[in-house]
Amino acid sequence: MTDRILADKRILMFSPAFFGYEDMITGKMREMGAEVDFFDERSVTSSFSRAMLHVRPSFFRSHTHSYYDEILAKIRKNDYDYILFVKCDMADEKVLKLFRQTFPHAKMILLLWDSMRMIFGIEKKFSFFDRLLSFDRFDCEAHPELIFRPNFYMDDCLNIQEKEIYDWSFCGTIHSDRLNVINQIRSISMRRGYRYDLYPYLQSRLIYHFYKRTRKEFRNTQANDFCYEKTTFADSMKTMAQSRAVVDIEHPNQSGLTTRTLLTLAMGKKLITTNEDTRNYEFYDPAQICIIDRENVEIPEDFLKEPGKKPSKEFYDKYSLRRWILDVLGEDE
């Protein structure tokens, strides 16, 4: 039976582009019957611009206002039930006020996919929204107005059948201390004979050469040690399916669970993670999840000897993309 629980709903969604997750979310919304209009939340998308956004977000204010004015000109006649902003690091108070005035009957929702400390001035925007959610448990404890909602897994990951050929794999952007953590795991792997697959992504060779000059962990690397094209979701899922364990290294300034964490567990794979807070979730199992110290990585020798196992039905129900969408929108079954 087709799930059409959102058949009478129209949704406007703004989100940064992030490895195609935005397409999966809107695709699922449409599968559930909703009519969805999607736009990138960011008015600029280059690597340099995103870096500048963390340093001086006001630099792009005029450009951002023009960007959202053009969007409003296209959609102002539409009647939305929900307006969903994910992260909302570029839409400022002026933009949000304009959307409030243009769509007075829509429920405006803010979903934080980063910890608040990584989104400049986000608390000032709370008053424009009817519903506030975050994937970060600590932010929700500090700000009771935030509803705690962890991330999700995608249904597609459950249908991938591959022979395990790697003991572990990692696919992700090389930021913060990720390379240092990966190098420690590689050192352990060489001693123990672990087989592994790496897709260490950098946005450009220019960024690599900057890191080479400024960060000691890059000193003995070569440009060809890194990947400069984003991998597809399908390819990353295939590699995960071929791995006994998946490595997850969250940003040091975050504590919320990454989507990779939930995908890994949903696929029945073991998880090697730097996220200490993982032990506070109901699905934590030390036989399935190895929490490592990012400064001094240790992996028990018997951790990778046994294959992973599938989680409970309750896990699949709670962390499905369908359930996530309903929880974000505040929709009941």
Whether 296 and 315 have beta carbons less than 8 Å apart is answered as: no
How far the first Cα of the chain sits from its last, in Å, is: 15
Whether 9 and 80 have beta carbons less than 8 Å apart is answered as: no
| Measured distance CA(233)–CA(109) in Å, rounded | 27
Residue type, 305: K
Strands 196-201, 166-173: parallel, antiparallel or unpaired by DSSP? parallel
| pLDDT, position 1 | 43
Is 171 strand, coil or helix? strand
How remote is the C-alpha of 214 from its chain's centroid? 27
Task: Encode the chain (333 residues) as per-residue pLDDT tens digits.
Answer: 458 999 999 999 999 988 788 999 999 999 999 999 999 998 876 655 555 555 556 667 888 999 999 999 999 999 999 999 999 988 999 999 999 999 999 999 999 998 998 888 899 999 999 999 999 999 999 999 999 999 999 988 888 999 999 999 999 999 999 999 999 999 999 999 999 999 999 988 999 999 999 999 999 999 999 999 989 889 999 999 999 999 999 999 889 999 999 999 999 999 999 999 999 999 999 999 999 999 999 999 999 999 999 999 999 999 999 999 999 999 987
Is 229 strand, coil or helix? coil
**Which token pair is 270?**
């073991």
Query: Which CA distances in Å does 44 have to 48, 118, 228?
Result: 9, 18, 19
pTM for the model stands at: 0.92
* Ordered structural domains, the chain, with CATH: 10-149 (3.40.50), 155-318 (3.40.50)
